[in-house]
Amino acid sequence: MSDAGAASAVAEAALLGIHGTDFIAAQAANRRNTWVLILLLILLGFALGYVIGWAIEAWGTADDRPVDILAVSGAGLLGGAVLSGIGLVSSAATLMAGDRIVLAMTGAGEVDATAEPTLHNVVEEMAIAAGLPKPKVVVIETDALNAFATGMKTDAATIGVTRGLLNTLPREQLQAVVAHEMGHVLNLDTRYMAAVGIMVGLIALVSDMALRSLRFGGRSSGSGSRKKGGGGAVIVLIILILFAILAPLAAQMVRFAVSRQREFLADATSVQLTRNPQGLIAALRSLGAGGKAPEIGNRAIQHLFIVNPLKDFATGGSALFATHPSLEERITRLQNLGKI
C-alpha cells in the first residue's frame, strides 16, 4: 500500500472508531465483546421471564389490595429463572445436532482429496496452522462466491466453499478464506451462534405467547370484570406489553452484534494463521464483487457465511440489523492491523 493509501486507511479507521492494534489484541477484544453481548442476551431473557411472572402475580393473585410495583416479585424471579433455564437447556440440545441441520440446509456435498486436491491441501495447511484436526470438506454447487464453517466441536467440524469461489479465487485468496472459516472453528463461533440463536428464538416465542395471552384474556374478562390490584396492576400490565414488543427486537440486535463480532474475530484469526492480511483483503474484495446467490442461503443460516448471501450491509443505522460488518469496515480493520 502507498503512504497516501495507508494514511487514508488510518483516517478512515479513526472515523469508524477503530484504533491501531494487532491481530492478537483484536481477537482478545472481540472475545470480550462477544461474551458481554451473550451475557446481555441472557439477562434480557431473564428480564422477560421476570416481567411475565410479575404480571401473572399482579393479576392472578391480587384482589382489592394495591400492587407495590417497587417490591421484588417472587413469581417474577421464578419466571426469569425458568425462561433462562429453558434457553440454556434448549441451546445445549441444539448443540448436539446443529451441524447436521446446517449441512442439510446449505445443500453442500462432501468432496474427497482426489476430486479437489487443492482445496483439501489448503484446508489441511490451515488445520495444521491452527493446531486442529482436519475438518470435513464440502462444496456447494453454485457460481456464487462464498464459504462457511459449521461444527459444534473443533474435532468434528466442516468447512464448505462454493464452486464459484473454488473456480475464481487464486490459491492465496482461497487460503485466506479457508483460514477465516478455520478461525470460526478454532474460536467455537458456530457453538456460540447456535446458543445465541436458540435464546433469541425463545425470547421471540415467549413474547408472542404473552401478547396473544393478553389479547385472549382481554376478550374473556370483558368490561364487567372486577378491578384488581389498583393502578399498580395496570402499570405492570403496560410494562409487560412494552417488554413483549421490544424484547424480541432487542434480542435480534444483540444476535446480529454477536455475529458481527465473530466475523471480526475470524478475520483476525485468518491473518494469524496465514500471516498475510493482503490475501484476505483481496479475497473480501473479490467476494464483494462476486454477486449473490439466494439459493445458498436463508435467514436461519445467513450468519454462517463469510459474506451474507442475501443482503449487502453498509455502515450507519441499518448496520445494527446486519449479520456481518460491511466489507469496507472489515478491510479497513485488516489494513489497520499492526499500526500503532
Q: Which strands sit side by side in the sheet containing 158-162, from one edge to the other? A: 109-110, 136-140, 158-162, 147-150
Beta bridge partners of 147: 161
Q: What are phi and psi of 224, to 5 degrees?
A: -90, 0
Residue 295 known to be catalytic: no
Outline where DSSP puts E strands in 192-317.
none
| The one catalytic residue among 181, 295, 328, 329 | 181
Q: What nine digits make up the cell of 232? A: 399498580
By the 10 Å C-beta count (0-12 exposed, 13-18 middle, 19+ buried), 112 is classed as: exposed
Lookup result for grid cell 453454485: 142
Q: What nine digits make up the cell of 35? A: 461474551
Which pairing describes strands 158-162 and 136-140: parallel, antiparallel, or unpaired?
Answer: parallel
Residues with active-site annotation: 181
